[in-house]
Structure 1
Amino acid sequence: MTSPAAVIGSTGLVGHQILATLLGLEACETVYTISRRAPKTEPSAKLDAKIEADTTKWASAFTAISPVPKTVYSALGTTRLQAGGIQNQWKIDHDLNVELAKAAHAAGTQTFVFVSSAGTRGLLNSMVPYSKMKIGVEDTIKSLDFKQAIILRPGFLMGEREVAHSGGSLLGAVFGGLKTYVGQGAQDKFAQDGQVVARAAVKAAILAAEGKAPSKYWVIEQSDIVKLGRDEWNA
């Protein structure tokens, strides 16, 4: 199905959950990660974690993986504050994702799964630097013509982060309030739990491996993320 697999961004909110989900699947025998620090997950014989503080070496580190991961998941991203400015954020969110997607394609990866963001292609939003980063990565993945490409576009990500981002606690409280006072369906329209997004990514890759993807370039918006990652999820 999805083994061997690789997870890029395995220490982040969604990437950590993708890794945990894959390690919990019997059918997934090996999971590779490349990260600046060790993933915080339960010890597993399935996990082959490569630690490299220098992100400029990640593409070559990926190329050295053998056997080639059939499926690569990228939930790689940072914030402007963490990166120290928009130019440094661009190097991670755009440039590094593009470089790794190209390395995966050249190595022979069949399925590439990218966690993007909702609303980036709106008329006004598309001009925002953050949106331009996501759009650039999505367009690169499409142009590479993988056997299967999967793009997830979640809304606000709910869950515990290692490093809180500006405004995150306020938005989390707002969307959490929607669930409490209006209902889960109201929250689902704007925000999804990190685990739900991760499970949707894995579920989509499983369906693709079974020949059930609706298209070669499959874009999964918020409603279908909830459907795949929560409503239809089973281990």
Structure 2
Amino acid sequence: MSTLTVVGATGLVGSFFYNLVKTARVDGITKVTAVSRRSAEQNAPPSPQQQQEFNQFENVITSEITSSIPSSTKILFSGLGTTRGKEGGFENQYKVDYGLNVDIAKAAKAAGATTYVIVSASGANDKSYFAYPKMKAEIEHDVTELGFDRTIILRPGLILGHRNEVRSWEEQAAVSLYYGLKKLPFITSSLTNSTSAEAEDIAKAAIRAIQTFGPGLSIISNSEINALAREYDANLVTAN
């Protein structure tokens, strides 16, 4: 049995990914497992057709995520992330965003996973003066160094979508500014296409990349995320 394991399945992007991947055909995968501290949101029960594509859906609820990565994992998707405000400071955020993500990647590699997919950020830069983009670059570097057959890194800009948790004032300001600028006549669709993505579209892009990308390192920009999401939708229509 080959498993596609999802961590961060209760987050904004991860919850979309977990629900969408159950209806997507991924070669060689017979089981989808979400490993999380609380129950992953399930928007709809699987149809009989979906059951034929994936023999099992599973949600492992545990406080020990790293040690709970299934030994049958062949593909691991991480939408795991938190905020400085939620964790009470950058040091604690770093423990989750960097420490837990890298530990999970190591556990997946040890389990025999060949593909690792992670949601990073468009500003990831190891030379940045700012802590957040520098941290994202460190994560990207260290998971790539583990030597998966395929490493897929998605770099969205502003992530749009409804959140169950309250945004920090910085996030609220960024979203408000985005929607305000979008109304201006001189702001083109190409600009918004390159700077923001809906959480659902990021999940679709990740699935499409898993389905179609070959071996090696792939870094997917915000514009490419939106293009892959459209490709995912077109492929879904064709398949039906």
Structure with greater Cα Rg: 2
Match of 2:57 in 1: 47
Match of 1:33 in 2: 34
Give me the whole-angstrom Cα distance separating, in 1, the residues matched to 2:57 and 2:180: 37
1:84-123 alignment runs, 5 A limit: 84-121=88-125, 123=127
Match of 2:146 in 1: 144
Instruction: Using the aligned pairs only, state the percent identity.
Output: 34
**3-state SS of paired residue (1:145):** coil
CA-atom RMSD in angstroms: 2.0
Asked whether 1:59 is paired with 2:73, we answer no
Aligned-partner residue type, residue 35 of structure 1: S
Give me the TM-score of the superposition, normalised by structure 1. Answer: 0.86
Aligned partner of 1:201 among 206, 219, 228: 206
Match of 2:174 in 1: 171
State the shift of 1:18 in Å: 0.8
Give me the whole-angstrom Cα distance separating, in 1, the residues matched to 2:75 and 2:197: 23
Question: Structure 2, unaligned stretches of length 5 or more?
Answer: none
Aligned-partner residue type, residue 132 of structure 2: Y
Aligned-partner residue type, residue 176 of structure 2: A
Question: Structure 1, unaligned stretches of length 5 or more?
Answer: none
Q: Paired residues, what number?
A: 220
Give me the TM-score of the superposition, normalised by structure 2. Answer: 0.84
Cα deviations by residue, 1:120-152 (Å, 9 ceiling, x for unpaired): 2175xx232212221121111111110100011
Further displaced range: 36-45 or 187-196: 36-45
